[in-house]
Amino acid sequence: MSLQSQILNPFNTMEIVLDAIREIIPYELAVILSKETGNRLKVQYAKGELVEQKLSDYEIELSRRPDLDNVMEEGQVRLADDDPGSPDTYEGVIDLPAGHSCMLVPLSIGNTTLGLMTLDHRECDIFTPGRVQAAGTLSKLIALALAQAIANDNLQTEKETLLLERNSLISEAKIMIEGLVGKSQNWNHVLEKIKLVAPADSAVLITGETGTGKEKVARSIHSLSGRAAKQFIALNCSALNVNLAESELFGHEKGAYTGATTQRKGRFELADGGTLFLDEIADLPAEIQPKLLRALQEGKFERVGGEKTISADVRIICATNADLQERVRLGRFREDLFYRLNVFPIMLPPLRARKEDIVLLAGYFLEKISTKPGMKNVSLSEQALEHLLNKRWPGNIRELQNTLERAAILSGGSIILKNHLFFDANSKDENQISESNIVESFDSEVKDIIGRALKISSGKIYGKDGAAALLKLKPTTLQSKMKKLGLID
């Protein structure tokens, strides 16, 4: 199903963004309120386990809640405990304990205030500064969805024009997003997120297993954005050592180091006005992370060996197949940088979770293969297709494409039979995976237990209050297990 055939209604948009917010900010109640005539707020949408039916038609008179009016006037995210004298937002409707966490997020477009989003959790002090910052950035997407909802009730001309421009931008998919093939529910959810975030200019973190199409998704976001006419610059962080990483990102001056015979622009400078895609961001050297954070916060940097400060307007899209939050917990990735990059997360499903798309993907790849020199039009036999559908595909879409290209060559340009299909050594049929699933599940549980112990011990392994003591293991044994599970190098 093509991207342009998908429809995003306002409430679907709110659902997607609130799901994205929940991956970063653990709320139990999220409420979106529109500012109505008569100086009042009206609930438009609510999500979370604390939602009550009474919220559906709930209204707040702002004359009785000057604190909420002030938040919208100032336009800054605020925690309710910053103003301890204020009553609960939903007092008498939702029963929340004293001292619970509450975040107030104003929603506006330009200078026009549209309403307010509230996030609540029964636990105290759960909204960290990083989460507050992330809420402020994602509020722009919620504001667009709220404006779209208001537009259905004769929105004023200025807002209508803005929304029409947004929707026009989203619908211009066409050939520039070629390759995002599929119609499964899991894949449609990804397409909806792409359409939603593309025009917003927010940072995006794409996660998923190897071969799921992370760079293709990043390119589609760029193509659908207001930066499409500018450069899309990609950099793979896993191939960089400390010295090379700084030069690749920010460039260097002539003579900055041995071998620097000419001045060279870095990827940030080359991507000015466009998009910088940082693949395998989890592998970015720790020494470079604060420099990247500064460049993202200020839009400024210096070339290696240079003194002149350079400015660049760059949108960042990152990708990783690693658990970046786990690396933050282990102290291997900066928490402030994580929140700066993870403004809008998109998780790509593995191919085994969208098997109904295999037929469409196979047809797409075979059509592309037939256009290569020396190749002919080929098709799949029924037995070959059934064989494809029965595979687990650990290499995901990339493995499927390689398998089909090999089979097309072996078929001699006619029909691909089952015996033309050769899979990677670690590719198993679905009926062969029960034992490996048990192992994967056990390893996952062990990772979680070790992770919790490290969190309690503030990352310490040795000593009486270290993680090893908590788990009743020798420190060397714990380190060995962590290395085996890929938690440390």
3-state SS record for 248-294: HHHEECCCCCCCCCCCEECHHHHCCCCEEEEECHHHCCCCCHHHHHH
The H-or-E segment that residue 319 falls in is strand 315-320
Rg over alpha carbons for the chain, rounded to the nearest Å, is: 25
Q: Is 317 left (phi over 0), alpha (psi -120 to 50) or beta?
A: beta
Order the strands of the 275-279 sheet from edge to edge.
232-236, 275-279, 315-320, 204-207, 344-347
**pLDDT of res. 450:** 85
- Of 177, 187, 170, give the one whose Cα is nearest residue 219: 177
Distance CA 237, CA 363 (A): 33
| Under 8 Å between Cβ of 303 and 310 | yes
| Prediction pTM value | 0.71
- Mean pLDDT per segment of 10 residues, for the chain of length 489 residues? 49 80 89 92 92 89 91 91 74 85 91 92 88 84 79 48 45 52 90 87 93 95 91 91 86 81 89 96 93 92 89 95 91 92 93 94 90 86 92 93 91 86 65 50 74 79 82 82 79
Place of tokens 């002919």: 376
Furthest-apart CA atoms within the chain: distance in Å:
78
| Under 8 Å between Cβ of 194 and 224 | yes
- Any idea what the Cα angle at residue 70 is, between residues 68 and 72, rounded to 5°? 75
Distance CA 406, CA 428 (A): 18
**pLDDT of res. 221:** 94
Q: CB-hemisphere CA count at 13 Å for 349?
A: 19
| Under 8 Å between Cβ of 4 and 167 | no
**pLDDT of res. 177:** 57
> How many CB atoms sit inside 10 A of residue 342's CB?
22
**pLDDT of res. 161:** 43
Distance CA 240, CA 251 (A): 14
- Of 227, 230, 238, give the one whose Cα is nearest residue 200: 227
**pLDDT of res. 414:** 81
**pLDDT of res. 351:** 95
